[in-house]
Amino acid sequence: MITLTLEQIALAVNGTLHLQGSDLTADSVTDGMVHTDSRDTVPGSIFVAKPGEVTDGHLFAPAAVDRGATLLIVERHLDLPVAQIVVPDAVTALGDLATFVVARVRAAGNLKIVAVTGSNGKTTTKNLIRAVLERVGPTVAARASFNNEVGAPLTMLELTQDTRFLVAEMGASGRGEIARLIRMARPDVGIVLKVGLAHAGEFGGIEATVLAKTEMVTDLLETDVAILNTDDPRVAGMAAHTAARIVWFGQYGDEGVRATEVHASARGTTFTLQLASGEKRPVAFRVLGEHHVMNALAAAAAAEVLGVGIDDIVSALESVQTAERWRMQVLGGRDGVTVINDAYNASPDSMTAALKTLAQINIPGRRTIAVLGEMSELGELAGEEHDRVGLLAVRLNISQLIVVGRAARRMHISTINEGSWDGESAFVESADEAFELLRDTVQPGDTVLVKSSNSAGLRFLGDRLGEWFS
């Protein structure tokens, strides 16, 4: 974080500074990292005691102090010998501090901010943009999926006075959440990747999802840039709701950043990248799955807008091997067995893309196995969408389907009701049962996809299978 006095921090978060028991003063300065998990704190850290759904961060403040935290941001004064700022709401204070820091860095230098949202692909696109921008200047980007009212400001607070680029990932489960993040760090470049059924149950339907994602571009200025997916009509329609300059990306449009000659294999995807300027280069993109080409196009569009040349863009894209842990992560290798662990998240769109990739990369004569768990947060659409995924597995001629957990059981039911299948689908209650079944039935040369929402926990099954077949 940038260097601030304790008094400046207290003013930024609208809090009351308490110094009893501390050897610091209001004029003492800190540039320590900000954490909401006491396990992450190191000497000089700032610990924000955030109340949670299950526990309360105030209970872990002593541990944070023991690990070296020199300042606490709390909702009530604690009997601890450390400087404390008492605020009405710790999460609001975290956002207020991030807003203050971003404004200070922007005012002092040449900071450019890129924000990414969409129902799928946010983390992958963020990582690709970071890989490109790091080649031309100091870059801060979200760790993992730090994209909500806590994770996004924690990323913003990693800025220093030398930071040239901030890449912010912005997720939402309801109206107003992206707008709140936009107010913290008003982007120069706003990207909308796709509008799908991810979190549709929480949003209240697809139209509500569109309205929420549109918040990314509604407040952009004429001097800003909105990067929109021309292949998604819902995203393309957002052009009517922004004053910003539009840059399109897609595989089927006639303008903007495009991909042609796309060919997917087990080694990744090759394509020809064409920038909005008309420049073209071949790209050997090693992130598995043709659907990730769209994320690469969005990253290339952002980089071009920010003045990065096509050679640096292509070199950076080709350097990335894995989107992120648990996202189309290739594991295994023993006896030619490939394990694809893509179980960090799942929606109907991403599940469809993963199954199509599994079918697409398969070598003739070898088997494909899909180990699938629940797609969460779909609300009343859950049953229908799980049925649809099961039927897709049949139509793609996946060799074996293993459905894990009662919440996903309709996938299994829908497949066994298809007359073209006879015993190719199995249902198990738990990840442990799935592991035992796979351990005994996987054959040399098989490709195994593990895919589910985070809440189903199959990402750990994917890790376990990857280790077993390593």
Q: Express each pLDDT in 8-32 by its tens digit.
A: 999 999 999 999 889 999 999 999 9
d(CA 95, CA 366): 51
How would DSSP label each residue in 212-261? HHHHHHHT--TTSEEEEETT-HHHHGGGGG--SEEEEEESS-SSSEEEEE
Residue 389 has pLDDT above 60, yes or no: yes
d(CA 53, CA 68): 26
> What pLDDT, in 10s, does the model give residues 145-175?
678 899 999 999 999 999 999 999 998 777 8
> What pLDDT, in 10s, does the model give residues 249-307?
999 878 899 999 999 888 899 999 999 999 999 999 999 988 899 999 999 999 999 99
260 vs 83, 145, 297, CA distance in Å? 58, 30, 11
Task: Check residue 469 and give its pLDDT.
Answer: 94
- Using an 8 Å Cβ cutoff, are 96 and 14 in contact? yes
Mean pLDDT, rounded, for 37-47: 95
Mean pLDDT, rounded, for 359-382: 90
Alpha carbon 100 to its chain's center: 24
Quick one: 324 exposed, middle or buried, by C-beta within 10 A (0-12, 13-18, 19+)?
Answer: middle
Q: Which two tokens stand for residue 378?
A: 């779909």
Residue 202 has pLDDT above 90, yes or no: no
36 vs 3, 59, 160, 414, CA distance in Å? 19, 12, 19, 43
Residue 441 has pLDDT above 80, yes or no: yes
pTM of the model: 0.87
pLDDT tier for residue 199 given thresholds of 50, 70 and 90: low
Residue 197 has pLDDT above 70, yes or no: no
Annotated binding site for ATP: 118-124
Residues 6+ apart with CB under 8 A from 92: none
Q: Which two tokens stand for residue 131?
A: 């890989």
pLDDT tier for residue 228 given thresholds of 50, 70 and 90: very high
Lowest mean pLDDT among 41-55, 251-265, 320-334, 336-350: 320-334
Please give the helix or strand (H or E) that residue 465 lies within, else none: helix 458-468
pLDDT tier for residue 460 given thresholds of 50, 70 and 90: very high
d(CA 400, CA 422): 10
Task: Check residue 253 and give its pLDDT.
Answer: 79
Going by DSSP bridges, is the β-strand pair 425-428/329-332 parallel, antiparallel, or unpaired?
unpaired
Task: Check residue 172 and give its pLDDT.
Answer: 75
pLDDT tier for residue 422 given thresholds of 50, 70 and 90: low
d(CA 122, CA 431): 27
Angle at 208 between CA 207 and CA 213, to 5 degrees: 100
* Structural domains in the chain plus CATH codes: 4-91 (3.40.1390.10), 109-319 (3.40.1190.10), 329-468 (3.90.190.20)
Mean pLDDT (the chain, rounded): 92
The more confident residue out of 346 and 28 is: 28
HSE of 245, CA atoms in CB hemisphere, 13 A: 11
Q: Of 55-59, 219-223, 280-284, which has the strongest mean pLDDT?
A: 280-284
Residue 340 has pLDDT above 70, yes or no: yes
Angle at 452 between CA 147 and CA 54, to 5 degrees: 55
> What pLDDT, in 10s, does the model give residues 91-149?
999 999 999 999 999 998 889 999 999 988 898 999 999 999 999 999 999 877 678 89
Return the closest-CA partner of residue 466 out of 345, 348, 328, 361.
328
Instruction: State whether residue 352 is helix, strand or coil.
Output: helix
Distance spanning both ends of the chain, measured CA to CA: 40
Annotated binding site: 118-124
Residue 89 has pLDDT above 70, yes or no: yes
Instruction: State whether residue 55 is helix, strand or coil.
Output: coil
Sign of CA dihedral 25, 28, 32, 35: positive
Task: Check residue 187 and give its pLDDT.
Answer: 97
Instruction: State whether residue 370 is helix, strand or coil.
Output: strand
Residue 204 has pLDDT above 70, yes or no: no
The more confident residue out of 64 and 455 is: 64
Please list the alpha-helical segments (H only) found in 119-232: 122-133, 151-156, 177-184, 200-203, 206-218
Residue 203 has pLDDT above 70, yes or no: no
Instruction: State whether residue 37 is helix, strand or coil.
Output: coil
